Amino acid sequence: MATQTTLTISSKNYSSWSLRGWLAAKFSGIEFETVVIPPDDAAARAEILLLSPSILVPCLNHNGIKVWDILAINEYLNELQPQAGLLPLTNPARTHCRSICGEMHSGFSALRSALPMNLRAHFPGFKVWSRAQADIERIIEIWRECLATYGGPYLFGKLSVADAMYAPVVTRFVTYDVHLDPDIVAYCRRILDLPEMREWISAAQLETEDIDELDVEF
């Protein structure tokens, strides 16, 4: 019997949670179909605008098992496809990976509010307010520590759920013209050059739905 696997997502242009789940599924190597909820759906819109918890998307359905929170999806995919190495093999590195994924999951609220994901937009010279700048500096600290500790080219050497979790931040840095040092620019370029990211961004550029609150330059 064929495996029946779907991943429910929302807007590829606006939904950072959808991107995280989709990348994790792609990195795992499973075959899945994508189910898209339009961003004008009230519940999807509320999640994108940070007005409700991320429960609706992404949502993985695998052989009748439903998994929705992104951290739960990461763990499920790692158990399902251990050979993919979504989590590092050694306990210290695996614990480190889970910790920075958890920090991304529950933190950086100022960054999320001030620099929402919007792949079709570009705001050159965007002024980042101080609390969001503190979030940016913390993220860069995390990236530098991981790249130095595990030798790159990705956060834990090879692609992992950590790269999937932080990929939407890479797009925000581009959208809002955030100044970065060359080593961080190089990591961002590696993420943007992934075939999976190119596929996602190309699809996002073709979307026509707009969320006015996320298209205003402020």
Contact between residue 35 and residue 7 where contact means Cβ atoms under 8 Å apart: yes
Alpha-carbon distance of 120 to 107, in angstroms, equals 25
Phi, psi for 164 (deg, rounded to 5): -65, -40
Does 218 score more than 90 pLDDT? no
Q: Which residue has better confidence, 31 or 214?
A: 31
Q: What average pLDDT does the structure give for the chain?
A: 91
Q: What is the pLDDT of residues 23-43, one digit of tens each?
A: 999 999 999 999 988 777 766
Query: What domains can you pick out in the chain, each with its CATH number?
Result: 5-84 (3.40.30.10), 91-202 (1.20.1050.10)
Rounded to an integer, the average pLDDT of 15-30 is 96
- List, in order, residues 6 or more apart from 35 with CB less than 8 Å away: 6, 7, 8, 9
pLDDT for res 45: 65
Q: Tell me if residue 156 falls in helix, strand or coil.
A: strand
pLDDT for res 216: 46
pLDDT for res 181: 97
Phi, psi for 130 (deg, rounded to 5): -60, -40
Phi, psi for 59 (deg, rounded to 5): -135, 120
Q: What is the pLDDT of residues 96-151, one digit of tens each?
A: 999 999 999 999 999 999 999 999 999 999 999 999 999 999 999 999 999 999 99
Single-letter amino acid, residue 186: A
Q: What is the pLDDT of residues 53-68, one digit of tens each?
A: 556 789 999 999 999 9
Its pTM stands at 0.92
pLDDT for res 114: 93
pLDDT for res 1: 40
Rounded to an integer, the average pLDDT of 154-176 is 98
Alpha-carbon distance of 190 to 98, in angstroms, equals 22
The closest of 19, 16, 15 to 198, measured between CA atoms, is 19
pLDDT for res 63: 92
Alpha-carbon distance of 79 to 193, in angstroms, equals 27
3-state secondary structure 81-140: CHHHCCCCCCHHHHHHHHHHHHHHHHCCHHHHHHCCCCCCCCCCCCCCCHHHHHHHHHHH
Q: What is the pLDDT of residues 72-98, one digit of tens each?
A: 999 999 999 999 999 999 999 999 999
Q: What is the pLDDT of residues 142-164, one digit of tens each?
A: 999 999 999 999 999 999 999 99
Q: Which residue has better confidence, 45 or 188?
A: 188
